[in-house]
Structure 1
Amino acid sequence: MEEIETEEEKLFKKHRKERKELQAKIQAMKNAVAKNDKKRRKQLVEEVAKFEAELELRHEEELKQLTRSLDKSSTVGSCANGFANLELEIENGKAIKPSRVSKAQKRREKKAAQDREREERIAEAEIENLKGARHLENQKLAEILAKRQLQIKQIPSDGHCMYKAIEDQLKQQGSLLTLADLRTQAAEYMRSHADDFLPFLTNCNTGDMYTPVQNVEVIQADSTPITVGEEYGKKPIILVYMRHAYGLGEHYNSIEQLTDLPTEDVC
């Protein structure tokens, strides 16, 4: 017996098809641009981001509309069934007794309502993210790095992101320094150059100042790059500072050479 697709399954199937079609379109656009045409490839990065954002926004809106439609249909259907049963009981001369809902049914209904609310919150959050500070920051950074034929290399957000980003950059230059080595060296340097760092260490309650490597370039979305240690005269390692990367705070990522346009496997 052939199974009947639900409305949700039909919508998800439609969304998967549209994502595949978009990826095929993006691939065709990439193939049509010469790799040495940096200006056109930069424009293409922006166009791809726009297409993907518009598609996700439309999919989220369609999902919300379907959820509202199903909720309304479920309510109407329940009322209709209730009236039909009531009329049948009256016709048969039976005593009209309110039907009791089991505890298990109440739990299922409560969970279903919570799941719907959660899905709606997720959809709203995703829509907001496409318009929010994190999305705009990512777009700006992608444009800044693309001009230099670079792209972000993701670093885990585990409290060590700055040191791990530096470790990754140094590895690309052949260094064997580990995260522990970098933390140790940083601590030793700060202790031996306390006067250089004390002006930046202040009491959070009073605001008063507390009493007694290689150069690094930090790229940000909304300010010019900051270079530390220019006196060494060597090629800098490069970090990306992201103010809005996570809800819990700022984040550092590493970088790598831009190999191709960033695309996401959405299958």
Structure 2
Amino acid sequence: MEEVETPEELLIKQHRKEKKDLQAKIQSMKNAVPKNEKKRRKQLTEDISNLEAELSQKHEKELKLLKESCLVEEVSNSLGSVTVANDEETSDSRRPSRTSKAQKRRDKKAAEEKEREMRIAEAEVENLTGSRHQEGLKLKGKLQEKGLQIREISSDGHCMYRAVEDQLRGRGISFSITELRAQTAQFMRSHADDFMPFLTNLNSGDMYTADEFEKYCSDVADTAAWGGQLELRALSQVLQLPIEVVQADSPSILTGEDFDKPPIILIYMRHAFGLGEHYNSVEPLKELANEEDG
């Protein structure tokens, strides 16, 4: 007997087809614009980003509506089955079991396998509609306007310093993570009045004492303590370079704007790797780089 697909399975199948159709459409759009027409190619990347975002939002809305409708139906069915179950309980208890133990095991295994497949399908949909994916789409659009794309940096507590190191390397400047951390800590120590007011004790809410601030700077220099906006302010002064931080849902933050040089560009992600906040570097958009090489 052929197994009937659930509404969620049918919707996921439809979403896969729509994504496939969109990719075909995108390819046709790319083929229609000559590579040497850079202005049209730039507009093309924006149009593609918008199409991908619209489809993702559509899928998220459809999945949400389906789950809501299924929940209502499930509650209704549960209430309707209570009376029937009560009426049949006595007679059912006296009926001899017609299902063998082997059949029960097979049924249980089949049910577990079906549940596993549904979890995999739901995870796939969540990956396409979740916060991380939406953040990635927004960042992709912003970077394409600059002719850039994300360059992944490992998530190990040093991500901000590694991203800065990567950007400096692209300019022929060599700084190790250890050197960047040490110079950041030293600058903060020598300009304590500029940084201490922004640091507070999590338990008391009071501004850091001198000892607490020294401990903070030591952690910056000697551990894998995560770096943030304060450390970027110090690094900008150390390097005598502006640093621009691009975010998905907020305007870019520019530190060290007084320095008349092209900024180092970092990407700040709130939902990377499911681990929370993370910094990445950037690199030239491969499509544009290929066009220039050609």
Instruction: Give TM class, smaller chain.
Output: 0.5 to 0.7
Q: Could you report, residue by residue, the CA deviation over 1:9-39 in whole angstroms, capped at 9, with x for unpaired residues?
A: xxx9999998777555433422332445455
Identity within the alignment, %:
51
Instruction: Flag the 1:175–1:42 CA change in 2: closer, same or farther, 3 A.
Output: same
1:108-127 correspondence runs (5 A): 108-109=109-110, 111-126=112-127
* Residue 259 (structure 1) aligns with: 286
Other structure's SS at 1:234 match = coil
Contact 1:42 1:143 in 2 (8 A): no
Letter in 1 for 2:126: A
- Give yes or no for the alignment of 1:248 onto 2:275: yes
- Give yes or no for the alignment of 1:234 onto 2:261: yes
Contact 2:140 2:149 in 1 (8 A): yes
* Residue 177 (structure 1) aligns with: 175
Return the alpha-carbon distance in structure 2 between the equivalents of residues 181 and 104 of structure 1.
62
Return the alpha-carbon distance in structure 2 between the equivalents of residues 153 and 250 of structure 1.
16
* Residue 156 (structure 2) aligns with: 158
Letter in 2 for 1:111: E
CA apart distance, 1:176: 2.1
* Residue 208 (structure 1) aligns with: 206
1:129-148 correspondence runs (5 A): 129=130, 133-148=131-146
1:1-267 correspondence runs (5 A): 23=23, 25-35=25-35, 37-52=37-52, 54=55, 57=59, 98-102=98-102, 105=106, 108-109=109-110, 111-126=112-127, 128-129=129-130, 133-212=131-210, 213-214=238-239, 215=241, 216-260=243-287
Return the alpha-carbon distance in structure 1 between the equivalents of residues 125 and 285 of structure 2.
32
Normalising by structure 1, what TM-score?
0.64
Other structure's SS at 2:165 match = helix
Q: Could you report, residue by residue, the CA deviation over 1:60-105 in whole angstroms, capped at 9, with x for unpaired residues?
A: 97xx9xxxxxxxxxxxxxxxxxxxxxxxxxxxxxxx7633324864
CA apart distance, 1:173: 0.6
Return the alpha-carbon distance in structure 1 between the equivalents of residues 133 and 33 of structure 2.
26
Letter in 1 for 2:159: C
Return the alpha-carbon distance in structure 1 between the equivalents of residues 47 and 287 of structure 2.
15
Return the alpha-carbon distance in structure 1 between the equivalents of residues 13 and 25 of structure 2.
18
Return the alpha-carbon distance in structure 2 between the equivalents of residues 19 and 148 of structure 1.
26
Instruction: Flag the 1:200–1:57 CA change in 2: closer, same or farther, 3 A.
Output: same
Q: Could you report, residue by residue, the CA deviation over 1:195-251 in whole angstroms, capped at 9, with x for unpaired residues?
A: 221112101122211111323121223333222223443332111112233433122
More helix per residue: 1 or 2?
2
Return the alpha-carbon distance in structure 1 between the equivalents of residues 36 and 179 of structure 2.
40
Q: Over aligned residue pairs, what C-alpha RMSD do you find?
A: 4.0
CA apart distance, 1:118: 1.4
